């Protein structure tokens, strides 16, 4: 053990969820630390999230209408209490309160809020703040103003339990390779989802997310005994650039947003084949599925996408907010088509929480993409950032309250030493398979077999392949340098163990759910089955360490 | 096209192991529109475990700042030329190879008390913020705190943090545009050396989002100081 840190509340993750939690816990009187695998405010979803969030509920809109929208979007398997909490808090103006911290929402020339009506919302309750990085930036300033200790580039690798409660964590510091024991009375996982498990690329997987999203919270919490929920539901953004590589994962917008047209490799339009509802813009799920079907049936482009044709759009100014150097790389949107494909965007599933963000393990809390239950089978637009704000505030207060009620608590040093040995054991230098190569194998397996279009045989094959990677490749995993200074490979070997667990959860849950619902689509079970599947799949850890999946009726309202 | 390579000279230095820094040259197969970040990642995946930082890969997180052929650049937003030399961002302590330590920047930003200062609780009044305020405020929120401007600024080079460079001052300048803010932003700006800036424009040249920071920060505060 190279260092010890103590705090009332340890917040893990420095995105909007984590920053908001830290501010709220501090203001409730707790001694707070904020830990981030990357750089706080720069590693969560904030910098890449869309700039719009559900914030403004005014007559005739109400918490009830918003709640209904949330339930419908989640296809009635979201946790009604958790969804209700979000609707109530948004209606009570809790998101608008961000302006107290200096965040300013867009205004119209007359001074009124600029409101947006997003897909799936009955009313125009969404506000914009230019881009969401504004929110992370300003919340970071609020963290700075308070006496909250920041631990950038510290990757948490294990939750410590003592008499059934979570009493701390162990982490690996990137800058100097030190292994740190964190003793905390409350531990909050705000560390995001696992979108990096989908699709092999050079700079990252086929995802809109930052490279840090390797599913660490879900994997670590599951190993410690936490119950997870809804892991089979992963939202895929339909239209993202796949080429050139430098822009892979950039969300380019759905055709309807600009009046663009999708075409397959032969130049043919194809959406009309898949939309039955003439005239209405297809949903994200429908678009993603249609594009993947064209690619799968051999009508995809060279780099694994389809064409999005902007050449005839009525107004090129709608593209002005894309700050990408199309000209520099020889793309003329007036003449050239763009290669686009779906990319993983958001994990609806995660650590199962109640309205206080408590998990089943006393002392462990979760929110944001690390948590599951709020969104159900599909996430309503504008509710990711809103949930980070709402539940950040809630969890901060609850975590502080718990910390104040506890005087002392123990740490199981056998677990600490065990984790230290595991981390050191993973950092084996020598000739073998690089962690980055194993990551790419996991990513291509998941993309090919557990992606937008799923079926039983392929899901089973994916689970087998993940097993093989775990048994054959991982023992041969080696890194190339023993240095302790910024040794990214050491971090990557740990990420591989997390990604394997999360990938297996997604694949197993997807195999078990023999229906199609929201973001989960099964070719072999293409319809929704409310009779059998108005349920959530709960993932827990069995006595023998195996993954236990239990379908469970949706919680009552 | 297929056999084309780019020659990448990378600064290598592990302070815990190496007697002194050295440069190593790697040949990277060129792809269409290849960025410096893609070249570094290719080297990392296939040739050597070089240390460099990146996260979003699309010019929003601002963590991949390096010197490319002597100029502060974001690796993800810079197209690789046939021969490039990549070094750590100038003026920062080196962790290893191209990864530098930004901790001092946070400490310095913190010292300038950069959050909204409304002297007690703020009454939430929508009308206190007008469209014009939003337009003014908007100029600053694009700053991604990549700190390239600090590596380019001759005054930072000469005086260190006694001169608060653009990325350090941007929070203060942003708050100065919020009508609810009661902090003495001009006083802080003067104490941090804004009057020293002669608008050489080197910060604007390297800014990945081309913010006119010389005008909206330094010129703005200088004009205000003159009016006082």
pLDDT, tens digit, 9 for 90 and up, residues B150-191: 999 999 999 998 999 999 999 999 999 888 888 999 999 999
C-alpha pair distances (Å), B146 with each of A135, A238, A249, B102, B168: 17, 30, 21, 10, 10
Residue B80 has pLDDT above 80, yes or no: yes
**Would you call A424 an interface residue with chain B, using a CB distance cutoff of 8 Å?**
no
Size of interface A-B (CB pairs under 8 A): 174
CA distance B148 to B92: 11
Contact residues, chain B, for A148 at CB < 8 Å: none
Contact residues, chain A, for B45 at CB < 8 Å: 202, 434, 436
Nearest CA distance, A90 vs chain B (angstrom): 15
Portion 179-198 of A in contact with B at CB < 8 A: none
Residue B124 has pLDDT above 60, yes or no: no
Nearest to A102 among B79, B130, B175 (CB): B175
- Among B30, B60, B92, the strongest candidate for a mutation testing the A interface, having the largest count of A CBs within 10 A, is B60
pLDDT interval class at B123 (50, 70, 90): low
Torsion sign over Cα A89, A93, A99, A103: positive
Task: Give φ, ψ of B123 to 5 degrees.
Answer: -75, 130
Query: What are A283's two structure tokens?
Result: 């949903």
Residue B26 has pLDDT above 60, yes or no: yes
Task: Give φ, ψ of B25 to 5 degrees.
Answer: -105, 130
**Would you call B56 an interface residue with chain A, using a CB distance cutoff of 8 Å?**
yes
Nearest to B56 among A48, A150, A175 (CB): A48
Q: Domain coordinates of chain A in residue numbers?
A: 3-232+348-405, 236-343, 413-535
CATH topology of domain B5-100: Ubiquitin-like (UB roll) (3.10.20)
- Among B40, B57, B80, B143, the strongest candidate for a mutation testing the A interface, having the largest count of A CBs within 10 A, is B57
Nearest to A251 by CA among A217, A280, A208, A293: A208
Nearest to A107 among B31, B41, B131 (CB): B131
Contact residues, chain A, for B130 at CB < 8 Å: 107, 111
Cβ–Cβ of A485/B144 closer than 8 Å? no
Contact residues, chain A, for B127 at CB < 8 Å: 111
Nearest to B116 among A101, A212, A488 (CB): A101
Could you name the CATH architecture of B103-227?
Orthogonal Bundle (1.10)
Per-residue pLDDT of chain A (557 residues; tens, 9 = 90+): 899 999 999 999 999 999 999 999 999 999 999 999 999 988 877 776 766 789 999 999 999 999 999 999 999 999 999 999 999 999 999 999 888 888 888 888 888 888 988 888 999 999 987 665 678 888 999 999 999 999 999 999 999 999 999 999 999 999 999 999 999 999 999 999 999 999 888 888 889 999 999 999 999 999 999 999 999 999 999 999 998 888 888 888 888 878 899 999 999 999 888 876 655 678 888 899 999 999 999 999 999 999 999 998 888 877 776 667 788 778 888 899 999 999 999 999 999 999 999 999 999 999 999 999 999 999 998 899 999 999 999 999 999 999 999 998 999 999 999 999 999 999 999 999 999 999 999 999 999 999 999 999 999 999 999 999 999 999 999 999 999 999 999 999 999 999 999 999 999 999 999 999 999 999 999 999 999 999 999 999 999 999 999 999 999 88
Contact residues, chain B, for A489 at CB < 8 Å: 49
**pLDDT value of residue A283:** 82
Contact residues, chain B, for A480 at CB < 8 Å: 48-49
Cβ–Cβ of B115/A38 closer than 8 Å? no
Cβ–Cβ of B44/A436 closer than 8 Å? yes
**Would you call A261 an interface residue with chain B, using a CB distance cutoff of 8 Å?**
no
Cβ–Cβ of B62/A434 closer than 8 Å? no
CATH topology of domain A413-535: Methane Monooxygenase Hydroxylase; Chain G, domain 1 (1.20.58)
**pLDDT value of residue A272:** 86
In CATH, A236-343 is 3.30.1490.20: no
Nearest CA distance, A417 vs chain B (angstrom): 26
CA distance A235 to A119: 15
Instruction: Check if the beta carbon of residue A224 is closer than 8 Å to that of residue A161.
Output: yes
Portion 464-523 of A in contact with B at CB < 8 A: 479-481, 483-489
Collapsed DSSP state (helix, strand, coil) of residue A146: coil
Which regions of chain B carry the CATH code 3.10.20.30?
A: 5-100
Which regions of chain B carry the CATH code 1.10.1060.10?
A: 103-227
CATH class of A3-232+348-405: alpha beta
Contact residues, chain A, for B42 at CB < 8 Å: 202
Cβ–Cβ of B57/A202 closer than 8 Å? no
């Amino acid at each position: 053990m190279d260092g010890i840190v103590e705090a009332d509340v340890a917040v893990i993750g420095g995105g909007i969820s984590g920053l908001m939690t830290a501010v709220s816990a501090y203001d409730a009187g707790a001694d707070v630390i904020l830990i981030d695998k990357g750089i706080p405010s720069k590693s969560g979803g904030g910098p890449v999230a869309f700039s719009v969030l559900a914030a403004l509920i005014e007559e005739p809109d109400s918490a009830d209408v918003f709640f209904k929208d949330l339930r419908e979007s989640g296809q009635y398997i979201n946790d009604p209490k958790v969804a209700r909490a979000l609707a109530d808090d948004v209606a009570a103006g809790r998101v608008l309160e961000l302006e107290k911290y200096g965040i300013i929402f867009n205004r119209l020339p007359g001074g009124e809020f600029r409101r947006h009506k997003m897909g799936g919302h009955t009313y125009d309750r969404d506000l914009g703040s230019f881009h969401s990085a504004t929110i992370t930036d300003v919340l970071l300033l609020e963290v700075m103003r308070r006496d909250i200790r920041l631990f950038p580039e510290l990757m948490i690798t294990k939750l410590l339990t003592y008499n059934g409660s979570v009493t701390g964590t162990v982490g690996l510091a990137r800058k100097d390779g030190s292994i740190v024991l964190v003793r905390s009375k409350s531990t909050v996982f705000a560390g995001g989802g696992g979108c990096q498990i989908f699709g092999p690329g050079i700079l990252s997987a086929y995802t809109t997310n930052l490279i840090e999203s390797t599913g660490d919270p879900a994997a670590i919490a599951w190993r410690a005994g936490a119950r997870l929920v809804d892991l089979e539901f992963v939202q895929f953004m339909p239209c993202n650039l796949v080429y050139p590589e430098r822009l892979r994962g950039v969300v380019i917008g759905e055709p309807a947003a600009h009046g663009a047209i999708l075409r397959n490799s032969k130049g043919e339009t194809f959406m009309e084949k898949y939309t039955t509802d003439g005239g209405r813009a297809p949903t994200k799920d429908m678009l993603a599925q249609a594009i993947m079907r064209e690619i799968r049936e051999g009508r995809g482009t060279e780099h694994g996408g389809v064409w999005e044709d902007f050449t005839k759009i009525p107004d090129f100014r709608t593209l002005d907010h894309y700050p990408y150097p199309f000209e520099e790389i020889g793309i003329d949107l007036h003449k050239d088509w763009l290669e686009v494909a779906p990319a993983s965007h958001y994990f609806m599933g995660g650590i199962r929480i109640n309205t206080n963000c408590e998990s089943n393990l006393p002392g462990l809390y979760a929110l944001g993409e690390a948590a599951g239950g709020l969104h159900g089978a599909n996430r309503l637009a504008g509710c990711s950032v809103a949930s980070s704000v709402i539940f950040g505030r809630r969890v901060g207060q609850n975590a502080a309250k718990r910390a104040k009620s506890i005087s002392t608590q123990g740490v199981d040093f056998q677990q600490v030493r065990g984790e230290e040995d595991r981390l050191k054991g993973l950092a084996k230098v020598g000739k073998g398979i690089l962690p980055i190569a194993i990551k790419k194998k996991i990513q291509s397996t998941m993309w090919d077999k557990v992606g937008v279009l799923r079926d039983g045989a392929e899901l089973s094959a994916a689970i087998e392949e993940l097993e093989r990677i775990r048994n054959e490749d991982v023992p041969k995993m080696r890194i190339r340098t023993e240095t302790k200074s910024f040794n990214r490979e050491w971090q990557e070997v740990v990420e591989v163990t997390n990604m394997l667990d999360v990938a297996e959860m997604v694949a197993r849950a997807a195999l078990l759910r023999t229906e199609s619902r929201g973001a989960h689509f099964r070719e072999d079970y293409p319809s929704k089955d409310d009779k059998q599947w108005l349920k959530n799949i709960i993932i827990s850890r069995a006595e023998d360490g195996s993954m236990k999946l239990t379908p469970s009726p949706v919680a009552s309202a | 096209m297929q056999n084309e390579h780019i020659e990448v000279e990378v600064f290598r230095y592990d302070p815990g192991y190496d007697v002194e820094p050295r440069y190593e040259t790697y040949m990277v197969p060129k792809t269409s529109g290849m960025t410096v970040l893609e070249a570094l990642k290719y080297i990392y995946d296939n040739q050597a475990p070089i240390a460099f930082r990146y996260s979003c890969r699309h010019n929003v997180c601002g963590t991949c700042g390096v010197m490319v052929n002597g100029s502060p650049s974001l690796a993800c937003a810079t197209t690789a030329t046939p021969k490039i030399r990549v070094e750590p961002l100038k003026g920062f302590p080196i962790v290893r190879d191209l990864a530098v330590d930004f901790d001092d920047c946070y400490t310095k930003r913190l010292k300038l008390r950069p959050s909204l200062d409304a002297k007690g609780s703020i009454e939430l009044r929508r009308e206190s913020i007008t469209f014009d305020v939003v337009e003014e405020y908007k100029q600053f929120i694009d700053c991604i705190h990549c700190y390239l401007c600090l590596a380019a600024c001759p005054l930072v080079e000469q005086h260190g943090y006694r001169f608060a460079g653009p990325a350090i001052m941007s929070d203060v300048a942003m708050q100065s545009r919020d009508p609810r803010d009661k902090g003495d932003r001009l006083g802080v700006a003067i104490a941090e050396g804004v009057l020293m800036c002669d608008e050489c424009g080197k910060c604007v040249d390297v800014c990945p989002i081309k913010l006119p920071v010389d005008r909206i920060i330094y010129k703005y505060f200088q004009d205000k100081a003159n009016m006082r």
